[in-house]
Structure 1
Amino acid sequence: MKQIQLGNDTFEGRNSVYLLGHTTDAAGPLTLVDTGVATDATDAELRAALAECGVDYADLDRILLTHWHYDHAGLAGQIQTESGAEVYVHEADAPLVAQDPEATEAVRELQFEEFADWGMPAAKRAELESFFEGSEDLRGEPVDVTPVTDGDRLAAGEHEVRVVHLPGHAAGLVAYVFEREGRREAFLGDSVLPKYTPNVGGADVRVEEPLANYLASLERVVDLDLDRGWPGHRGPIFAPTARAHDIAEHHAERAERVLAVLREHGPATPWEVSAELFGSLSNVHIMHGPGEAYAHLDHLAARGWAERTDDGYTLAADAPVDVHLDALRGESGQ
Structure 2
Amino acid sequence: MEITGTAQHEAWQARALPPVEQLRPDLWAVPVPIPHNPLRYVTVHVFALDGGGLGLLDAGWGSDDSWAALTGGLAAIGAGVHDVRGVLVTHLHFDHLGLAARLREATGAWVAMHPADASSVGRISAAGAAAFVASEVEFLVGLGADREDAVSDVGPPDRLESFTRMAVADRLLEDGEQADFPGWRMRAVHTPGHTPGHLCFAEERTRLFFSGDHVLPRISPNVSTTFAGSADPLGDYLASLAAVRELDPAEVLPAHEWRFRGLDSRVDALTAHHELRLTELLAAVRADPGSTPWQLAAHLTWSRPWDEYERRMRIFAVTETDAHLRVLASRGLVVGSGGPVPTWTLAVR
Normalized against structure 2, the TM-score is what? 0.82
Say whether the 8 Å CA contact 2:136–2:154 is kept in structure 1.
no
Which range is displaced more, 197-206 or 213-222?
A: 197-206
In structure 2, what is the equivalent of residue 115 of structure 1?
140
2:316 matches 1:285: no
C-alpha distance in 2, partners of 1:80/1:254? 41
Letter in 2 for 1:37: W
Corresponding residue for residue 68 of structure 1: 92
Q: 1:103 to 1:242 in 2, by over 3 A?
A: farther
Structure 1 residues without counterparts, runs of 5 or longer: 319-334
Name the SS of the counterpart of 1:93 in structure 2.
helix
- Match among 27, 33, 42 for residue 66 of structure 2: 42
Conserved? CA contact 1:194–1:235, under 8 Å: yes
Is 1:252 equivalent to 2:293 in the alignment? no
Give 1:253's aligned amino acid: L
Query: Percent of aligned pairs with the same residue?
Result: 29
Q: What CA deviation, in whole Å up to 9, does each residue of 1:166-205 have, x standing for no partner?
A: 0011011011110354xx2221111111111011124785
Is the CA contact (8 Å cut-off) linking 1:27 and 1:157 kept in structure 2? Answer: yes
Alpha-carbon contact 1:38-1:139 (below 8 Å) kept: no
Count of matched residue pairs = 313
Instruction: Work out whether residues 129 and 158 of structure 2, in 8 Å CA contact, stay in contact via their aligned partners in 1.
Output: no
Deviation of residue 317 (structure 1)?
3.7
Asked if 1:82 corresponds to 2:109, the answer is no
* Equivalences for residues 23-172 of structure 1 within 5 A: 26=50, 30-98=54-122, 100-102=125-127, 110-130=135-155, 133-137=158-162, 141-156=166-181, 158-172=183-197
Offset at residue 110 of structure 1 (A): 4.8
Question: Which residue, out of 312, 316, 320, partners 2:347?
Answer: 316
User: Greater CA deviation, 253-262 or 8-17?
Assistant: 8-17
The structural deviation recorded for 1:160 is 1.4
RMSD of aligned residue pairs (Cα, Å) = 2.4
Q: Distance in 2 between matches of 1:131 and 1:229?
A: 38
- Deviations for 1:219-275, whole angstroms, at most 9, x for unmatched residues? 011032223211121211321221111101100000000011011122211111111
Superposition TM-score, scaled by structure 1 size: 0.86
Aligned partner of 2:249 among 223, 226, 231: 226
